[in-house]
Amino acid sequence: MTERRPDLTRPADLHHLQFSGPLRTQKPRYLDRLPPCNDACPAGENIQAWLAAAQAGQFREAWEILVADNPMPAIHGRVCYHPCEDSCNRAAMDGSVSIHAVERFLGDQALARQWPLPMPDKNSGKRVLVVGAGPSGLSAAYHLRRLGHAVEIREAGPVPGGMMHFGIPAYRLPRDVLEGEARRIEAAGVTITLNHKVEDILAEQAAGGFDAVFLAVGAHLSKRVDIPGRDAGKMLDAISFLKSVEEGEPPQLGRRVAVYGGGNTAMDAARVAKRLGASEALIIYRRDRDHMPAHEAEADEALEEGVKINWLRTIREIDTTTFKVEVMEVDDNGRPQPTGRFETLEADSLILALGQDVDTGWLAQVPDLEFSRDGSVVVDGNLMTGHAGIFAGGDMASKERTVTVGVGHGKRAARCVDAWLAGGDYADPPRNGLVTADMLRPWFATDADTREQPRIEDDRREAGFEEVTLGLDRESAVFEAARCLSCGNCFECDGCYGACPEGAVIKLGRGQRYRFDYDKCTGCAVCYEQCPCNAIEMVPEADPATAAEVTS
């Protein structure tokens, strides 16, 4: 070992000079880092923590950790596009942890066992109105209620759920699951008033004595496109189409159905058309697959069910059931460019799935509200609009319109409203440094491929709206949770405890982790080098952050 030279100006170094031989130039310190799954979650879930509880078989504890951030895990485990898994460090080994599948398992356990959401232990005396019972509105109401406020949701539709109900088909999100999650939020003390369309927000706020308002209306308006001759054929917009099917009044589509668009709604519209009896469902999209907005899995499932996709095609003209489409080419920037080459396609119906907008016309009379060019409401960093006390989130204030983004907006809005009601602004808590795959040393991990979720047989998929993807069983859920590498946070593997040659690592008991005895530590860094999750760092001997530990 190379001898380390002491700093004779420091009493601590003189102490070690007398008793410890060669002096330390560095010492270890435990720390917590930010795992990439937590960092990527739009709902801000503490994923690593609830996975740890799940792998120990502590399912209710795991669910309680989960619902501290997201009150609808049974929904999210089905419809979230799980960016957490795209960021999972285990992808560099044998595949990402199937986080959404474990989340669904916990959510389904909670519904089956009727676990109640936590009730507030205080009453602030404040009242908040939430407009819209979609994911953002339900989330905001739940978190506001947990903070002690009285909350009422006013929803124009006949059921809670918003676009989750009318925009996501039942084969992806069974209605009993959606209803169960919404009713549990109601049971936690949130009032949900249905069939109540808010048209004058200031009048309703005043009449109800509400101290603040959160606007969470979903994007229910389909975008339009100008196509010459478009009135000659049978056309529907995707949102109205999906809504009519949900209401039990599906339109007559004919044998061949074309869907114009490349997002998740387009995939759903085509899959629903097949379930309604269309022998051919064709998606027409102007970009290639690499640049489609739809999630990869959505396109895969559509193709599995017999949906055809014509990439790099744009509709130029319509003559009754004949479509003139132009072939496109993708340029170096990924943008489609016309080629001047044309094809003819035949279809009995055309469903337009080109995106959705939010109806904000009813807010025009509210002073100081501003709107972006796309019609969304302008909000500040605390999600408050230009009118004091009126906040907005979800589809109304975000270009990324997903269920999980909406739930995250709802949670943040609740915290911002709570801070505003108390006379202040919400401040984000400090974030730990992110841990990446190259920082790990997973000596304990062996190849353990992801446990796949089972799916129903192909012939059952086209026969109706039965849920396609099934959940994990108990054993598979525990196995999948145990694949988590606990990136950046100590999980008490005893690696440092067993590796230290000086006995300088002291176990503090289950769940309490460890501490260093710096009177014994030589700074050899063996503990640091073997820590599989990078929960130990080596710091200079003079680092003031550990001065108290050194002298204690």
pLDDT tens string for the chain (552 positions)?
Answer: 344 444 434 444 434 433 344 588 899 999 999 999 999 999 999 999 999 999 999 999 999 999 999 999 999 999 999 999 999 999 988 899 999 999 999 999 999 999 999 888 889 999 999 999 999 999 999 999 999 999 999 999 999 999 999 999 999 999 999 999 999 999 999 999 999 999 999 999 999 999 999 999 988 777 777 777 655 568 899 999 999 999 999 999 999 999 999 999 999 999 999 999 999 999 999 999 988 889 998 999 999 999 999 999 999 998 888 889 999 998 888 889 999 999 999 999 999 998 888 888 889 889 999 988 877 899 999 999 999 999 999 988 877 888 999 999 999 999 999 999 999 999 999 999 999 999 999 887 777 888 999 999 888 888 889 999 999 999 999 999 999 999 999 999 999 999 999 999 999 998 899 999 999 999 999 999 999 999 999 999 876 555 444 332
* CATH 1.10.1060.10 is right for the domain spanning 36-115+440-482: yes
CA 421 to chain centre: 27
Q: Starting at the edge strand that comes first in sequence, how are the strands of the sheet with 212-215 ordered?
A: 191-193, 150-154, 127-131, 212-215, 390-392
Cα separation, 271 vs 309, whole angstroms: 12
Q: Which residues contact 207 (CB under 8 A, 6 or more apart)?
A: none
Phi, psi of 328 (to 5 degrees): -110, 160
DSSP structure class, residue 263: S
Q: Look up the pTM and report it.
A: 0.89
* Whole-number Cα distances in Å, 346 to 16, 251, 319, 322, 326: 86, 19, 10, 5, 14
Q: Sign of the CA dihedral 197, 203, 209, 215? A: positive
Cα separation, 520 vs 324, whole angstroms: 80
Would you say the CATH fold of 224-356 matches that of 127-220+365-421? yes
* Domain regions of the chain by residue span: 11-32+490-551, 36-115+440-482, 127-220+365-421, 224-356
| Class for the domain spanning 11-32+490-551 | alpha beta
The per-residue b/e assignment along 189-202, b for 16 or more CB within 10 angstroms, e otherwise, is bbebeeeeebeebe
Domain 127-220+365-421 fold: FAD/NAD(P)-binding domain (3.50.50)
Q: Sign of the CA dihedral 207, 213, 219, 225? A: positive
CA distance from start to end of the chain: 27
* Whole-number Cα distances in Å, 480 to 58, 98, 143, 476: 14, 7, 29, 6
> Domain 224-356 sits in which CATH superfamily?
FAD/NAD(P)-binding domain (3.50.50.60)
Token reading at 499: 């590796």
Q: Which of 118, 107, 106, 113 is nearest to 188 (CA)?
A: 118
- The phi-psi region of residue 523 (left if phi > 0; otherwise alpha if psi is between -120 and 50; otherwise beta) is left
DSSP structure class, residue 34: B
